[in-house]
Amino acid sequence: MRSAAHLFPDVATKQRLLAVSRGEAPPELVVVGARIADVYTGTWAEANLEVASGRIAYLGPRPPRLGPETLLVEAKGRYVVPGYLEPHAHPWVLYNPLSLLEALVPQGVTAVVYDDLLLRTRLGGKGARKAMEALASPHLPARVLFAARLVPQSTFPGEEALAREAGPLLDDPRVVASAEITRWPQVVAGEEALLRGVGWAHGAGRRAEAHGAGASWERLVALAAAGLDADHEPLRAQEVLERLRLGFWVMLRHSSLRPDLPALLDGLPLPPASRLMLTTDGAAPSFYAKEGFPGLLRRVAAWASPLEALRLATLNPATFLGVDGLLGGVAPGRLADFLLLEAPDAFQPQEVYVGGRLVAREGELLLPLPPWPLGPAGLSLSGDALGRPERYHLGEAPVLRLENAVITRRGEARVEGVRAFLLDAEGRFRVGAWVEGFLPRLEGMATSFTAATGVLVLGRYPEAMAQAAAAVGRLGGGLAWVQGGEVVWAEPLPLWGYMVEGGFRQALAVEEKLWALAREAGYAHGDILYSLLFLTCDFLPELRLTPRGVLEVKTGRILGVPLPW
């Protein structure tokens, strides 16, 4: 089925639009006197805008035909721009897919593409489809679309089922792309299952996204030859240009983990290529609270111009996703998703409209979000089994040194390191290593917020580690911290051990508490959430705790085998 087919108008809606367009019927909403951002030609033009049935019916100089129910917005001296589109979001970094909208929509994001990874790994294909239906509700204050994973982010038992589900999901109209392939070396090697998945995406008319972190020119050539369409992993301007020259669409990332825009824009030729977009790539809650999408646009506008910055957040991602007939511009027939700004470069909107409805004003969401539609989803963990100190003794084992928030190198000694264990949630195994340069004064902590399924337990003292792990088990997933022989913090993450069930402010408060404790324990890097999340991934250098053992990512060698539970 066509991408975003559920958003296209039926015949009756088109007839209503045409009646308003011809001036024969009054619109529901009129915005008069504003200067309109024409992202198609790169100009501003004063015009009146008329909305009917949630879509733009007319744009031009004529005085509107007002009816008794027409809402008139006087906007002289203000600027109308398309709603921003976030093409690459991970909606489970403490916030959940609903609560993230509390942050994004007041910042002007009216459409967002969510990675479906957590929905699929926890609910399966059928459950994920039901969740997509709920989260794509027309009653929400934004358009929620999805990208389907062809393979999971990290290896886990039973992952083959996730790959099989991808084909049918790519035909769902709410799914507009196949999501990033973190195992890109397997694409380069020609792995049949991944190439088949890319073929499924293209056969369904969807884009296929890469995750070419660290890929050389030769590897990028191979990824392009395999049919991958986009990448969000360049770290410098030269790497942006390499991807553009190979035909990729490029997402310029700026987030809590990777605040990359200054390096990406330094030396990048002007004007921006039409195949550039912006993304926050699943940033921590504090990033959206402090900077968010308006901050990205301000940075690009300082390098180019306000209109060119707008293109990277509106028309370009809409064109990439094949939905530019619906989103990405202020033009007749498009959905009436637009923002009112006080100046061309004041990217924090005064008002946000979605489908012609005013959904946010002056940084505040006006439409209440519905409750989480899927109910609680705690993990089945045994606090008694997790709370045995003898499980956390560690002798000779590989040593990881945390070089920055997420990159590890091989360490040489364990004198300054803490013990780290990945525990299988079903009690089948545990994987242990020493970690240097992470939390040197930590007594014990545990969390289910980690890339591999299971529980990550860290600390200097087995007794404190056992206390923390047992607390997470009793919570059914979450975070627990032990100091002075006591559990000083135990925070449930009731949605699969990753997300709070409440609003965005709750997620922000959890992050702030975690940061405070991490600093006390000596954390010296830039993103504590992603340090915890990615210690157990299997796609970043150099050593990782995975269900297969302590993995040397580049070679695929197992340096430390899983231990009995």
In CATH, the number for domain 82-326 is: 3.20.20.140
pLDDT of residue 470: 94
Residue ranges of domains in the chain: 82-326, 383-564
Q: Is the pLDDT of residue 283 over 80?
A: yes
pLDDT of residue 427: 80
HSE toward the beta carbon, residue 139, CA cutoff 13 A = 6
Residue 306 has pLDDT above 90, yes or no: yes
The answer, yes or no, to whether residue 383 has pLDDT greater than 60, is no
For residue 517, give the H/E element and its range. Answer: helix 504-520
Give the single-character DSSP code of 152. -
pTM assigned to the model: 0.95
- 452's torsion region: left (phi>0), alpha (psi -120 to 50) or beta? beta
pLDDT tens track for 88-106 = 999 999 999 999 999 999 9
Secondary structure (3-state) at 416: coil
Cα separation, 325 vs 83, whole angstroms: 14
Instruction: Of 419, 432, 406, give the one whose Cα is nearest residue 458.
Output: 419
Residues 6+ apart with CB under 8 A from 203: none
pLDDT value for 299: 97
| Nearest-angstrom CA–CA distance, 129 and 267 | 43
Contact (CB, 8 A) for 232 and 223: no
pLDDT digit string, tens, across residues 423-459:
987 788 899 999 999 999 999 999 999 998 889 999 9
Strand ranges (DSSP E) for 169-211? 175-181, 207-210
- Give kind and range of the element (H or E) at residue 420: strand 418-423
pLDDT in tens, 451-510: 988 899 999 999 999 999 999 999 999 999 999 999 999 999 999 999 999 999 999 999
Q: How far apart are CA 433 and CA 545, in angstroms?
A: 7
Q: Shortest CA distance to 543 belongs to which of 444, 441, 397, 391?
A: 397
